[in-house]
Amino acid sequence: MLEKKLLIPETFSADPSVHVFNGKLYIYPSHDRDVELESNDNGDQYMMEDYHVYEMQDTETMPKDCGMIFHLKDVPWAKEQLWAPDCAEKDGKYYFYFPARDKQGFFRIGVAVSDNPSGPFKVEPEPIKGSYSIDPCCFADDDGNYYLTFGGIWGGQLDKYRDNVYNEAHKEPAGSIPALGGRIAKLKPNMKEFAETPREVVILDKSGKPIEGGDHDRRYFEAPCQFKRNGKYYFTYSTGDTHNICWATSDNVYGPYTYGGILLKPVIGWTNHHYCVEFKGKWYLFYHDCERSKGVNHHRDVKFCSLHFNDDGSIQTVTP
């Protein structure tokens, strides 16, 4: 198996979301540019301009580049920064969700549609109404409902929102104040609109108390990945500046979720972004690191490894 090997050596790629369509694995990453840019906490170094899709026949075969599915110039409402995307299938149509800054500098989430998982995708002329921030993840529940989780603080602007309203004066909660959570909203049947007002995904510790803003080892920062296993909902996410990928569980898709532990320890590089997927009866963790670029944070590479669950549903920690 190609565990922990560089999967896309011909370019830099990051933020993988991965799905099984038509019996194959499809990787939907962001596309880091091989340019020299100054790094900062706002993420200005991540000036991605296009998306490619990669098809894997199995875990033994290197991915095939299916080509560019669209470029920044194809997004009429966007100004810059095509960051971490996701994709979902419904009734033979494929819906690609992506964040970008609009002409006013606010992150919104757009949708592009295709008849094929490898694209090309046609971009909708406007972002999802009421969307904001970054890192969309589309989760399909057993009952046929689809949900979009999203949100990232700092460069992703989530810390500036309260009750879905932006205010530049807001800051990330600190100390014993409850941490901010990601956001979740059910999608309408057309997969292009929210069916409800986005709500917060609350993460609790094992005593039932909300994770505190000062608890940077466990608090939510960005990169939500939501899935279901054995009737249990899993919400996994990055802690950002402490570089962990953590997991939490709930009996309800909306939560609250109870913190479980660390899924993936820090990788080489600043960001940590992942996706959990089941393929042919086994679970895999896709992620990125900066090993090839020796820590240059906007030159990242997608890798993957096996993911193992204990009998009680807890996830075994992966060391990259």
* Nearest one of 273, 212, 284 to 46, comparing CA atoms: 273
pLDDT at position 135 over 90: yes
pLDDT exceeding 90 applies to what percent of the chain? Answer: 96
pLDDT at position 36 over 90: no
**251 contacts 235 by C-beta, under 8 angstroms:** no
Pick the catalytic residue from 15, 32, 289, 301: 15
Each domain of the chain, given as residue ranges in start order, spans 14-307
Pick the catalytic residue from 135, 222, 289, 301: 222
291 is catalytic: no
Least confident of 33-37, 198-202, 274-278: 33-37
Q: What is residue 35's predicted lDDT score, i.e. its pLDDT?
A: 81
Q: What is residue 265's predicted lDDT score, i.e. its pLDDT?
A: 98
Q: What is residue 85's predicted lDDT score, i.e. its pLDDT?
A: 98
* Mean pLDDT rounded to a whole number for the chain: 97
- What CATH superfamily is the domain 14-307? Glycosyl hydrolase domain; family 43 (2.115.10.20)
40 band by pLDDT with thresholds 50, 70 and 90: confident
pLDDT at position 38 over 90: no
**152 contacts 134 by C-beta, under 8 angstroms:** yes
Q: What is residue 39's predicted lDDT score, i.e. its pLDDT?
A: 84
What would the pLDDT profile of 300-315 be if each residue is shown by its tens digit?
999 999 999 999 999 9
Cα torsion angle, 101, 104, 110, 113, sign: negative
Q: Give the whole-angstrom CA distance, residue 46 versus residue 14.
A: 10
The residues, ordered by sequence, that sit 6+ positions from 192 with a Cβ below 8 Å of its Cβ are 95, 111, 113, 124, 128
Q: Give the whole-angstrom CA distance, residue 273 versus residue 275.
A: 7
Q: Give the whole-angstrom CA distance, residue 283 versus residue 155.
A: 31
193 is catalytic: no
**Residue 181, SS3 per DSSP:** coil
What would the pLDDT profile of 3-12 be if each residue is shown by its tens digit?
999 999 999 9
